[in-house]
Amino acid sequence: MTAIPLPPQPLPRGRLPRWLPVRRLRQVLCLLPLVLVGVVAVRHRSVLADGFGQLRTAEWPWLLAAAGATCLTWVAAAVTRQGALVQRLPPLRLLATQFAAGAANHLLPTGLGASAVNLRFMAVCGVPPVRSSAALALYLLAEGVARVGLLAALLLAFPGALRLGTLLPEGVAGPLPAVLGAAALVAAGSLLLVRRLRSAVCAFLRTALGEARSVHVRPVRALALWGGALAFPLLQAAGLVAVGRALALPVPPAHVAVAYLAATVAVALVPTPGGIGSVEAALVVALVAAGGPAAVATAAVLAYRVVTVWLPLLPGALTLGALVRLKVL
């Protein structure tokens, strides 16, 4: 009697086929951040060498202060991330994730690396995708509002700190509003014409507004969200002030803070990994517009980027790989 072959049984939901080398894939993902660090370092080796060269002539107590401010930015990011979500996240793993997300943010186009890492972390912690996406949107909104609000407040307090027009390349100020307007029209047209997209966006907005209300009815969460969002750019600006002091940059600290906030707002739409290249150029122009000599401003920016980007990049990549290996991400 011939046996009748049974049809292949479907895999249980969430299970991967046995032939898929999951362990090998995870090992590759652990090593991928280190490979990307090497690629980025090779591509920007001249900037990296110049930046480390400037550190030799700097005053080390101020550089240590800049490093301390940089470390506190990860704490501020962790506090803000927790404030954007009602569900409690593991504090130590959340902090380690922000350190790793900083490295991912410098290896991928601006914002994508950190967003992907945090979405994955929230998924592992059991947060539904819709709620984690809403928390991410709330975090980005709070960070943007806080940064622009601080810039506006400092410009009102110090109206002569710098000329904002110098932050944009010549000829960009004219077509920029037209480009932004055209993008807004395309987005609005897509929402009106594509029913499925419109339904998905409306559902997401309802969830996001509900999550925002849930966060703001809890004073601890609201304080963490907005306090962390305000502290994050202030700590970044404090790091640049400290590096400027280390290299004797003749610009008042408040004007340096204005220059930093204006430069980072100006390059927010430039999709380069971690703003590498665009941030340096905008910061140099902003510091010169604030009254600093071009040579000293360039040296301060290079040293600042070494302290805040290049020195934490390798440890951050190692932390990212370790979190992937430990299945935290």
Each residue's pLDDT, cut to its tens digit, for the chain (329 residues) gives 555 555 555 545 445 455 446 566 655 666 666 666 666 666 666 666 776 777 777 888 999 999 999 999 999 999 999 999 999 999 999 999 999 998 888 776 656 788 889 999 999 999 998 889 889 999 999 999 999 999 999 999 988 777 655 555 444 444 545 555 665 566 556 555 666 666 666 766 777 788 888 888 999 999 999 999 999 999 999 999 999 999 988 999 999 999 999 888 887 765 555 556 667 788 888 888 888 888 888 888 888 988 898 889 889 888 988 898 888 88
Tokens in use for 30?
Answer: 């652990």
> Is residue 58 in some structural domain?
yes
Contacts of residue 111, Cβ cutoff 8 Å, sequence gap at least 6: 105, 140
> Is residue 26 in some structural domain?
no
Q: Is 165 helix (H, G, I), strand (E, B) or coil?
A: helix
Q: Which amino acid is at 19?
A: W
> Is residue 29 in some structural domain?
no
Look up the pTM and report it: 0.78
> Is residue 24 in some structural domain?
no
> Is residue 126 in some structural domain?
yes
Can you tell me the distance from the alpha carbon of 234 to that of 58, in angstroms, rounded to the nearest whole number?
22
Tokens in use for 271?
Answer: 């999709």
> Is residue 223 in some structural domain?
yes
> Is residue 172 in some structural domain?
yes
Count of the separate structural domains present in the chain: 1
Nearest to 59 by CA among 243, 216, 241: 243
Contact 310, 316 (CB under 8 A): no
Q: Is 277 helix (H, G, I), strand (E, B) or coil?
A: coil
Contact 125, 89 (CB under 8 A): yes
Nearest to 257 by CA among 242, 278, 267, 273: 242
Domain that holds residue 301: 42-325
